[in-house]
């Protein structure tokens, strides 16, 4: 073992459960050396070294990677990608995994992404884009309800408004284009058709030439049970989905994944990294809701519990454009990851609440607790964000995995803790007849 050349890794992200899960998996590689997290949380601190640099401070990150002689950096959240972290690292000869600024535009500009889908005939909701308030309003008033209004740029998960009345739609457009509540992110809006069907997450790893599709998964974005209340970063993920069979996955590959990656290459922006489209399985076939240019959170946590191949080997193969040379194996299991959030989230919430019971939860079989908004204060673990922890479980069936996760959650407590008790319920009841 000593002869193995250990790699120093830097994970640049949002300090959430996704980053903890990726680090947790990488730490299992015999080739993993020190793992740095910028910024990290109390969970990442246990498996590596937290670095007090914000993920949007690209210059400081560059200096750090150089000084520490980091062998491989992973860019895993949207903001640094938008700021061109991959381009900047490469310019200085540093090895980094993730899409370029131009390729990640597929996530950070909804106008770009919708135009791209339109130009390449990719299946998505009917839409128009506007920068003029009067024209946008005129168009919105003529659409059937509900109608979807989207802010062009990054909006921290608050940029999609599903308007149930024309008044609501006009108010949203005014807020964005006139009142500028999203500042320059809202210089343009997309107005689009409301799609109906189960929403699923697809992750595909691409090195710009080859690609590998991950099993299907599903997030639960609303705070409330029965998909009610405000949108969140994601309250729970399950995977693989029992209602997404091989035929559906093949259809998704043929109609969405392969043509998208080909189109990006044709446009001179080959995609390297994780491309994560959210899809709606409509009665007209799968349609793209949006593209993300990174791992989902908590999708990543679920995938890391299912992955059976060394993640470092996979990422190295990806950076070296040799994804065709590696087989990605998945455990024959189902996994879930359920978010435990602060009281008040996704609105205002308090921090600094003492967290108890993680060790007891992890003593139960097949449970791993990933940290998100956590910090050590005076040797005590306390809450430090909206989504605080993710409790993940694996089992031979989805029902069993969920049962295990909820049983483990019973051991964990902090003041105001809230979570959805219906994760996976809809998927278990889903019977899908797809065209
Ligand atoms: P986002 O904040 O971009 O992740 O989008 C939030 C959520 O809005 C998505 O996860 C969908 O559930 C919903 N959504 C976005 N676009 C549409 C659409 N065209 N039809 C129906 N729901 C949509
Ligand atoms: N799972 C939602 C997201 O990462 O955007």
CATH number of the domain enclosing 143: 3.30.1490.20
What is the rounded distance in angstroms from the CA atom of residue 208 to the CA atom of residue 273? 8
Name the token pair of 376. Answer: 């050590």
Ligand 1 midpoint to CA 288 (Å): 10
**How many structural domains compose the chain?**
2
Residues 271-313: tens digit of each pLDDT: 999 999 999 999 999 999 999 999 999 999 999 999 999 999 9
| Residues 351 and 372 sit within 8 Å (Cβ to Cβ) | no
Verify whether ligand 2 is closer than 6 Å to residue 232 (CB atom): no
Residue 109 lies in a domain: no
Residue 145 lies in a domain: yes
Residue 156 zone, left/alpha/beta (φ > 0; ψ -120 to 50; rest): left
Is 38 in the same domain as 97? yes
| Nearest of 49, 42, 2 to residue 27 by alpha carbon | 49
SS3 call for 171:
helix
Residue with CA nearest ligand 1 atom 18: 194
Decide which of 178, 193, 208 is a domain's last residue. Answer: 193
Count CB atoms within 10 A of the CB of residue 227.
14
What is the rounded distance in angstroms from the CA atom of residue 13 to the CA atom of residue 136? 35
Residues 61-108: tens digit of each pLDDT: 999 999 999 999 999 999 999 999 999 999 999 999 999 999 999 999
Residue 233 lies in a domain: no
Verify whether ligand 2 is closer than 6 Å to residue 299 (CB atom): yes
- Look at residue 435 in the predicted model and tell me its pLDDT: 41
Verify whether ligand 2 is closer than 6 Å to residue 236 (CB atom): no
Is 40 in the same domain as 86? yes
What is the rounded distance in angstroms from the CA atom of residue 164 to the CA atom of residue 167? 9
Verify whether ligand 1 is closer than 6 Å to residue 406 (CB atom): no
* Closest approach atom of ligand 2 to CA 237: 1
Is 18 in the same domain as 99? yes
Residue 53 lies in a domain: yes
Q: Is the pLDDT of residue 4 over 90?
A: no
Q: What CATH number does the domain containing 40 carry?
A: 3.40.50.20
Verify whether ligand 1 is closer than 6 Å to residue 195 (CB atom): yes
| Nearest of 217, 262, 221, 265 to residue 241 by alpha carbon | 217
Decide which of 69, 104, 139 is a domain's last residue. Answer: 104
Ligand 1 midpoint to CA 371 (Å): 26
| Residues 291 and 229 sit within 8 Å (Cβ to Cβ) | no
What is the rounded distance in angstroms from the CA atom of residue 35 to the CA atom of residue 9? 5
Verify whether ligand 2 is closer than 6 Å to residue 278 (CB atom): no
Count CB atoms within 10 A of the CB of residue 377.
12
Query: What's the mean per-residue pLDDT of the chain?
Result: 96
- Look at residue 5 in the predicted model and tell me its pLDDT: 86
Residue 144 lies in a domain: yes
Decide which of 193, 211, 233 is a domain's last residue. Answer: 193
Name the token pair of 318. Answer: 């990806």
| Residues 219 and 234 sit within 8 Å (Cβ to Cβ) | yes
What residues pair up with 285 in beta bridges, in sequence order?
282
Verify whether ligand 1 is closer than 6 Å to residue 235 (CB atom): no
Burial of 1 by CB count in 10 Å (0-12 exposed, 13-18 middle, 19+ buried)? exposed
Residue 243 lies in a domain: no
Residues 223-264: tens digit of each pLDDT: 999 999 988 999 999 999 999 999 999 999 999 999 999 999
| Nearest of 92, 100, 95, 101 to residue 10 by alpha carbon | 95
Given CA atoms 193, 276, 280, 347 in this order, what sign does their dihedral have? negative
Is 27 in the same domain as 83? yes
B/e letters for 185-207, b = 16+ CB within 10 Å, e = fewer, are bbebbbbbeebebbbbbbbbbbb
Is 36 in the same domain as 84? yes
Is 80 in the same domain as 145? no
Is 63 in the same domain as 143? no
Ligand 2 midpoint to CA 6 (Å): 31
Give the contacts of 193 (CB within 8 A, at least 6 positions apart).
125, 126, 127, 143, 147, 148
| Residues 257 and 276 sit within 8 Å (Cβ to Cβ) | no
Residue with CA nearest ligand 1 atom 6: 160
Count CB atoms within 10 A of the CB of residue 230.
13
Ligand 2 midpoint to CA 134 (Å): 32
* Closest approach atom of ligand 2 to CA 18: 4
Name the token pair of 113. Answer: 């992404």
What is the reported pTM? 0.95
Ligand 1 midpoint to CA 194 (Å): 8
Residue 160 lies in a domain: yes
SS3 call for 185:
helix
Is 14 in the same domain as 99? yes
Mutate which of 160, 192, 293 for ligand 1? The one with the most ligand atoms within 8 Å of its CB, which is: 160
Name the token pair of 276. Answer: 């994560």
Q: What is the DSSP letter of 383?
A: E
Residue with CA nearest ligand 2 atom 3: 296
Q: What is the DSSP letter of 159?
A: -
Residue 147 lies in a domain: yes
* Closest approach atom of ligand 1 to CA 195: 20
Q: Which bound ligand lies closest to the C-alpha atom of 294? A: 2
Q: What is the DSSP letter of 152?
A: S
Is 183 in the same domain as 133? yes
Residue with CA nearest ligand 2 atom 5: 296
- Look at residue 432 in the predicted model and tell me its pLDDT: 53
First to last CA, the chain: 52
- Which runs of E-coded beta strand occur in 76-232? 96-97, 127-130, 147-151, 160-163, 189-193, 199-201, 204-207, 211-213, 218-219, 222-224, 228-231
Residues 389-427: tens digit of each pLDDT: 999 999 999 999 999 999 999 999 999 999 999 999 999
* Closest approach atom of ligand 2 to CA 201: 1
| Boundaries of domain holding 188 | 126-193
Ligand 2 midpoint to CA 328 (Å): 22
Is 139 in the same domain as 97? no
Is 82 in the same domain as 135? no
DSSP secondary structure, 252-307, as one string? HIIIIIHHHHHHHHHTT---EEEEEEEEEEETTEEEEEEEESS--TTHHHHHHHHB
Verify whether ligand 1 is closer than 6 Å to residue 361 (CB atom): no
Q: Is the pLDDT of residue 431 over 70?
A: no
Beta strand 367-371 with 236-239: parallel, antiparallel or unpaired?
A: unpaired
Is 57 in the same domain as 100? yes
Residue with CA nearest ligand 2 atom 4: 296
Residues 128-178: tens digit of each pLDDT: 999 999 999 999 999 999 999 999 998 877 889 999 999 999 999 999 999
What is the rounded distance in angstroms from the CA atom of residue 341 to the CA atom of residue 385? 8
What is the rounded distance in angstroms from the CA atom of residue 425 to the CA atom of residue 435? 24
Mutate which of 82, 236, 289, 296 for ligand 2? The one with the most ligand atoms within 8 Å of its CB, which is: 296
* Closest approach atom of ligand 1 to CA 192: 19
């Amino acid at each position: 073992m000593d002869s193995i050349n250990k790699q120093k890794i830097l994970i640049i992200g949002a300090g959430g459960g996704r980053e903890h899960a990726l680090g947790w998996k990488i730490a299992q590689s015999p080739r993993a050396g020190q793992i740095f997290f910028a910024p990290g949380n109390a969970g990442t601190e246990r498996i590596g070294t937290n670095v007090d640099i914000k993920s949007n401070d690209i210059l400081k990150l560059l200096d750090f990677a150089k000084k520490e002689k980091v062998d491989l950096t992973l860019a895993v959240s949207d903001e640094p990608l938008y700021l061109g972290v991959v381009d900047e690292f490469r310019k200085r000869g540093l090895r980094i995994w993730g899409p370029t600024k131009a390729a990640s535009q597929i996530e950070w500009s909804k106008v770009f992404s919708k135009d791209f889908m339109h130009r390449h005939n990719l299946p998505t909701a009917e839409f128009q884009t506007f920068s003029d308030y009067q024209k946008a309003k005129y168009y919105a008033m003529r659409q059937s309800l509900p109608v979807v209004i989207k802010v062009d740029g990054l909006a921290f998960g608050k940029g999609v408004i599903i308007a149930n009345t024309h008044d609501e739609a006009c108010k949203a457009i005014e807020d964005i284009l006139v009142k500028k509540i999203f500042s320059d992110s809202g210089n343009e809006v997309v107005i689009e058709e409301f799609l109906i069907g189960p929403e699923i997450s697809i992750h595909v790893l691409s090195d710009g030439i080859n690609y590998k599709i991950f099993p299907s998964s599903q997030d639960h974005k609303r705070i409330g049970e029965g998909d009610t209340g405000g949108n969140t970063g994601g309250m729970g993920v399950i995977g693989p989905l029992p209602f997404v069979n091989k035929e559906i996955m093949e259809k998704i590959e043929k109609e969405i994944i392969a043509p998208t990656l080909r189109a990006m290459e044709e446009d001179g922006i080959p995609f390297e990294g994780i491309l994560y489209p959210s899809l709606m399985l409509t009665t007209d076939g799968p349609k793209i809701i949006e593209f993300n240019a990174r791992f989902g959170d908590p999708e990543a946590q679920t995938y890391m519990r299912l992955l059976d191949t060394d993640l470092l080997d996979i990422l190295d193969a990806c950076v070296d454009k040799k994804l065709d040379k590696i087989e990605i194996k998945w455990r024959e299991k189902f996994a879930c990851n359920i978010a435990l959030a602060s009281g008040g989230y996704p609105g205002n919430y308090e921090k600094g609440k003492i967290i108890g019971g993680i060790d007891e939860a992890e003593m139960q079989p097949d449970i791993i607790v990933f940290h998100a908004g956590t910090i050590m204060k005076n040797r005590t673990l306390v809450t430090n964000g909206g989504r605080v922890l993710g409790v993940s479980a694996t089992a031979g069936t989805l029902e069993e995995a969920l049962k295990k996760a909820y049983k483990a959650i019973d051991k964990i407590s902090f003041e105001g803790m809230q979570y959805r008790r219906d994760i996976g319920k809809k998927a278990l009841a889903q019977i899908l007849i797809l065209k």
